[in-house]
Chains A and B, each alone.
Chain A
Amino acid sequence: MSGNPPPDQVLALEDLSITVHDGAATAVRGVSLTVSTSEIVGMVGESGSGKTLACRAALGVLPAGCAVESGTISFGGKDVTGLSRRGWERLHGTEVGAVFQDPSSYLNPNLTVGSQLAEVLRVKRGMSRREAHSKTVELFATVGLHGPGRVFHQIPAELSGGMLQRVMIAIAISCDPQLVIADEATTALDVTIQAEIIELLKSLRDQRGLAVLFVSHDLALIRELCDRVVVFYAGEAVESGPVEEIIERPRHPYTQALLQVASVGDFQRRELQVIPGAPPPVGADITGCRFAARCPAVIDACRTAPVAFTRLAPGHQSRCLRANDPELAAVTETAMAAR
């Protein structure tokens, strides 16, 4: 519908819907988001909210039984929605790299980590054995691995989780993609290592203009890393905007609730909050707002018709009828504290 995309736009999902169970249920409904050069965009939501599925669609690696129902995926303005498997393979590495939660399950345990990265360089970039070796060592140094020459000859079992995740990041950026998609990439790591990986992603953004789509269930982590955030609930984007804005002035009750349960680093004793209820099952047929059943600020109008994703301020959108109600935040907070 729009004309030409902005020149620095790397990834654009437009009104994307994804079905699961061979079309029996819709797990992602009309999600739109963009990621631009040098931008880190976060996706946050509970497990089952559709954030991972949206990511996998953007990588062209949807699991069996899942399919893009409608909407488009484009890289740098080029529509890649219906691309063949071969077509996606050409994009992998060169346009988009990926980092997942469990690095050891993506590496061959029998081969040295260096040879696995060098193989990528030789296949994708046509490098000679020697070129690939020196480029690999250089990339290992870029991602902060100590003694990259020695790490080259180690197998995955000899490296710690944090080092393996650095190797995965090195592989993801090896063919100079403009975008890296990181799905719960730090969830399995210790907090000290997690902090280092977060810094690494930031420095890659600063030095290479890398764009990152970072998926996490932890709003605190999103706050540490991202410029913008999209909040997912039950397959829909319910709020999106600049991170500072969303944290300071959330305009959707679900975001407000997420904020109440998120970690606070001042280590004060405070009542631990819980979001009451459970999300609806995947593909549930709900006429009105999908959060209405758990929402403390629900009104009758919420249940009668779908709620539009409304623009509140430049770059800030919310899918809530009461988004402009000044009382909204207070209602959510009181309701959660009262439990």
Chain B
Amino acid sequence: MTAPTTSPSAGPLNAAKPLLAVEDIDVVLGRGWRANHVLSQVDLKIWPGEIVGLVGETGSGKTTLARTIVGLVKPRGGRVSFDGNEISGLRGGARRRERRSGHVQLVFQDPLRSLDPDLTVAEIVGEGLKIRGGLSGAEIEQRSVRALQQVGLDAGLLGRTPGQISGGQRQRVSIARALATDPQLLLCDEPVSALDASNRNYILRLLSDLRDSLGLPIVIISHDLSSLAGIADRVVVLYRGRIVEDGPVGEVFSAPRHPYTALLMASAPSVRHDRPLSVHQLRRTTADPAAPSGEAACVFAARCPFAIDACAQQPPLEPVAPGWTAACLRHEEWPALAGERSAASASRS
């Protein structure tokens, strides 16, 4: 809304400063022997008007990262800045004011569980505005109706409860709730994982349209790579709490530089059989030499068929091309090595 949004795909190269900057975030959940390092040295910048896809499997820290950004999880180290102001260090009243401003909105996974079943759609969508205060009931209703229109829902749904509408409509209500406070950044946690293919495409198209019409930057957390390919500008791949690859979606998906990104791509089901690499070329087998292990080793080494002794040290995220970083020592060598491996199934290690 404030910064240039003309060409979304141009993203980082011509915008002056990022809207959101996550710098060197470490998150540890639990304490003592239960302590679990969920995020390590995560750096992420979101530029105005871009759609960023955040991918990774269960337990990779995607949801924790989103929750850290909105302040629901307190990081042990690092900082989160929004529009140049640090928000991770805010306490008490300042923290509350920032949250109530609704600048950053989170759309939760599974709308059936995140929407109060006893509230009507009108109450759900208007709640954020009511908490922020300063608006009359009529104004709140007017803005709720507008938010519903933005997601393609009829104002007639205002009196229904979440149990009385379909799954696709519920997800749209979640998005409308987030839009009601005029956010400057939208974080969507697995917005489509519970939906069938047609509804999934509908929601993704809706998010893409919102970016185009409002210039709203959106982070979409997903494990479905093929749908992200349709709308995201940039893709960020997380593996066990670390970003392993971050780059423009077209480039990353045509020639991934981290073997984990390639494995995710090869595992995604497709109606056409036209993959460059099969999963068997990207999985460790019993024939592969032992991978380095230990605390300091590359997070992916234990599953990586291309791990060498040097992988005993976690490589940092380094530029592999303009606007594209990957955390792999062998990012130039492994694609050729993968091509030489057998595409057929072999025994697993």
B-binding residues in A (CB < 8 A)? 46-47, 144, 160-161, 190-195, 198-199, 203, 217-221, 223-224, 247, 257-259, 261-275, 278
Contacts and interface: CB of A to CB of B under 8 A. Distances in A.
Given A263-B226, A267-B265, A268-B229, A47 B196 contact: yes
Contact of A261 (B197, B267, B270, B273): B197
A261 B205 CA distance: 12
B164 to A, nearest CB: 13
Contact of A272 (B166, B196, B230, B249): B230
B196 A217 contact: yes
A267 B226 contact: yes
Given A144-B348, A267-B265, A272-B205, A262 B197 contact: yes
A135 B263 CA distance: 33
Among A224, A247, A265, the one with the most B-chain Cβ atoms within 10 Å of its Cβ is: A265
B269 interface: yes
28 contacts: A46-B196, A192-B57, A192-B264, A192-B279, A194-B267, A195-B267, A195-B279, A203-B345, A217-B196, A217-B197, A218-B196, A218-B269, A220-B226, A220-B268, A220-B271, A224-B270, A261-B197, A261-B200, A266-B274, A267-B225, A267-B226, A267-B229, A267-B253, A267-B254, A268-B229, A269-B249, A271-B230, A278-B166
Interface residues of B, number: 41
Contacts of A265: 226, 265, 268-272, 274-275
B204 interface: yes
A199 B274 contact: no
A221 B204 CA distance: 20
Interface in B263-290: 263-275, 279
B229 A259 contact: no
Given A217-B197, A263-B226, A269 B250 contact: yes
Interface of B: 57-58, 166-167, 196-198, 200-202, 204-205, 208, 223-227, 229-231, 249-250, 253-254, 263-275, 279, 345, 348
B225 A191 contact: yes
Contacts of B167: 47
**Chain B interface secondary structure, helix, strand, loop or mixed?**
helix
A261 B269 contact: no
Contacts of B267: 191-192, 194-195
A264 B226 contact: yes
Contact of B227 (A47, A266, A272, A274): A272
A271 B208 CA distance: 11
B261 to A, nearest CB: 11
Contacts of A272: 201, 204-205, 208, 227, 230-231
B292 to A, nearest CB: 19
Given A191-B224, A268-B229, A275 B272 contact: no
Contacts of B348: 144
A259 B197 CA distance: 10
A221 B269 CA distance: 5
B230 A191 contact: no
Contacts of A266: 270, 272, 274
B196 A259 contact: no
A78 B58 CA distance: 44
Contact of B271 (A191, A194, A247): A247
A275 B275 CA distance: 26
